[in-house]
Structure 1
Amino acid sequence: MDLEAVRTFVAVAEAGQFQRAAAELAVSQQAVSKRIAALERALDVRLFTRAPRGAELTIDGQAFLPQARELLRVAERAVASVRPGRRPLRVDVLASRGAQSGLMRGFHRAYPEVDLDVVMLFEIEAALGAVRSGAIDASFRAVTAPGHALDEDIASVRVLDEPLQLLTGPAHALAGARSVTLDQLAGHRIWMPGIVPGTEWGAYYDELTAEFGLTIEATGPNFGSDALLDTIADTPALATFMGEHTRLIWPAGHGLRRIPVTDPTPVYPHSLLWHRDNPHPALATLRAHLAATAAGHGAAGTWTPGWVLPR
């Protein structure tokens, strides 16, 4: 159905005259007549009768008028839902308990008036495709992992280097350490069933193990963080890596230890990605907030893979 014809019908019904409606719509009276005639043909009814005082609604016109008004309201809401600044800012945070989610919670506390739509996309290619298409406004990722170079239309800024910690159960050989070096981890089994080949975090841990001779095992199904914590608590031979800002809760009886890793401290590089032509005004607000509040990157004594963009 032609929305301009519907809008014209409502204007004539409210004005009571074709000429007055034409003036309000800034079109000719002939254009108004053509639109009404086309709408009547589409509906197969007469909407107006000519009267000495102007145009009067027929019974069908009276029945159609409230529906026509609602149709125009729905159309306006549809346009507003995708208009920059009127729809929520859509951001991919990858995981609900990770540092990226924490960054967005901080943004929401600072700018509660900004509507947010937080999504979680697993694969980097899916995230990049969503950024390019406008399905999302931004994504947090580690860039540029091998095989995942950014197109020229995708901008990025490194917003947070998250230190890794060693997570052990109470009976692990390193459970009592106040900190451990990467050299001390050689020979210990680090279990990380969530690593998936081809992902940016998979590339990160591949380079970490190659450079420092670590033993990282990704065997077995990934049943989620609760199952991982249960296994680490009950198995003295296993430990795992956990981001410093990852928010996890476990039963007090688990006795888990989070131990800083040093000399150097491996840090996971979180960057914000967005399309250079994205016009959403809240995106600029988010970038400014992260620039002002994020902990920074490139500190002395830290390690990142060689493929990570420096800024």
Structure 2
Amino acid sequence: MAGYALGVLSLELVQSFVTVAEELNFGRAAERLNVTQPPLSRRIQQLERDLGVELFVRSHRGVTLTPAGEAFLGDARRLLALAEEARATVRRVPGGEVGTVSVGFTAATAYEFLADLLRLAADRLPGVQLVLREMVTGAQLQALHQNSLDLGLIRPPARGSDLTSLPVASEPMLAAVPSGCELAGSAELSVRDFDGRPLVMFDPAGARYFHDLALAAFRSAGVTPEIRQYVTQIHTALALVGAEVGLALVPQAARALRFEGVTLLPVGDLAGFPAELEVCWRPDRINPARDRLIALLTDRVLFTD
């Protein structure tokens, strides 16, 4: 914007300038703006004082732009366009059409559910930016309690009276078996096939949800595997299964990892022990874009058993 001094400008003055510049006639410009000519002339004079330059050459033959006026015209049109865009954006915020949502997710969520969520949000809420934060469920709950996270994708249950949660996905647990094991050729396993066999188990502290889920399934069937190692991550469990350390129970999303030397099989009597996913948030944290995203999640199950 060289050639003139730019301070704080009134959009009304800028609009008046652009209209006069397009008409090159104060009378016609005044008609377009629905004002009389004297107030319009005063607006242009005020703008010229604010900018410190003359924008028009006035003569008995008419009005023409000065070099400074010609330079300012393009910038003035961009200012008006930006102002209109800003007005439109602000009007869309209360309805959740635009905004930013910070979303916590666990590593296992990223294998299938998160990708589907991102595609859904991009298609249905293109004006909403998702800021992703990989966090275990406990860390997500803490961030939600501290009001530093908009939305959590957690393993149940959500703990805290200040939180609300809803189920959004469910997937079966699968048996991860070394491909060289005799069980790998089966079409389907039973929980009883784990009895007395070496097991890669999820850690009760670092992966409590999957630990408790597997433990409940084993106890329900009355089987006692031989725990060889504890892990916190699904990919670590699969790596140890591939190294023939033992069997493991993993969520269906583990199929996306395609570990060499590992065969994933359904477990017929595990129907009552699915891995569930919930969306969790603080209702007192106001974010219309988050609420629109929650509505999408609860209206559509992105993967199920």
Determine whether 1:64 maps to 2:72.
Answer: yes
Gaps of 5+ in 2: 1-7, 220-224
* Residue of structure 2 aligned with 1:121, choices 133, 137, 158: 133
CA distance in 2, matches of 1:181, 1:149: 36
Letter paired with 1:190: V
Determine whether 1:46 maps to 2:54.
Answer: yes
Report the TM-score, using the length of structure 2 for normalisation. Answer: 0.62
Letter paired with 1:45: V
CA distance in 2, matches of 1:185, 1:174: 13
Residue 269 of structure 1: how far off its partner (Å): 2.3
Letter paired with 1:47: L
Tell me what 1:278 maps to: 288
CA distance in 1, matches of 2:18, 2:192: 73
Taking the TM superposition and a 5 Å limit, the aligned residue runs for 1:1-311 are 1-2=8-9, 4=11, 5-18=13-26, 20-21=28-29, 24-25=32-33, 32=40, 36-52=44-60, 55-78=63-86, 80=88, 83-84=92-93, 87=98, 92=103, 94=105, 95-102=109-116, 105=119, 107=120, 115=126, 120-123=132-135, 124=140, 129=147, 132=150, 140-146=153-159, 149-151=161-163, 156-171=165-180, 175=184, 178-181=188-191, 184=194, 188-191=198-201, 197=206, 202-205=207-210, 207-208=212-213, 217-218=230-231, 225=235, 229-234=238-243, 236-250=244-258, 254-260=261-267, 262-263=269-270, 265-272=272-279, 278=288, 283=293, 286-287=296-297, 289-290=299-300, 295=304
Letter paired with 1:271: E
Residue 281 of structure 1: how far off its partner (Å): 10
CA distance in 2, matches of 1:40, 1:191: 76
User: Radius of gyration: which is bigger?
Assistant: 2
Residue 122 of structure 1: how far off its partner (Å): 1.7
Letter paired with 1:141: I
SS of the counterpart of 1:121?
A: strand
Letter paired with 2:132: M
Gaps of 5+ in 1: 133-137, 297-311
Report the TM-score, using the length of structure 1 for normalisation. Answer: 0.61
Residue 180 of structure 1: how far off its partner (Å): 3.4
Structure that is richer in helix per residue: 2
Aligned residues: 272
Letter paired with 1:208: L
Determine if contact 1:163/1:268 at 8 Å carries over to the other structure: yes
Percent identity of the aligned residues?
A: 24
Residue 270 of structure 1: how far off its partner (Å): 2.2
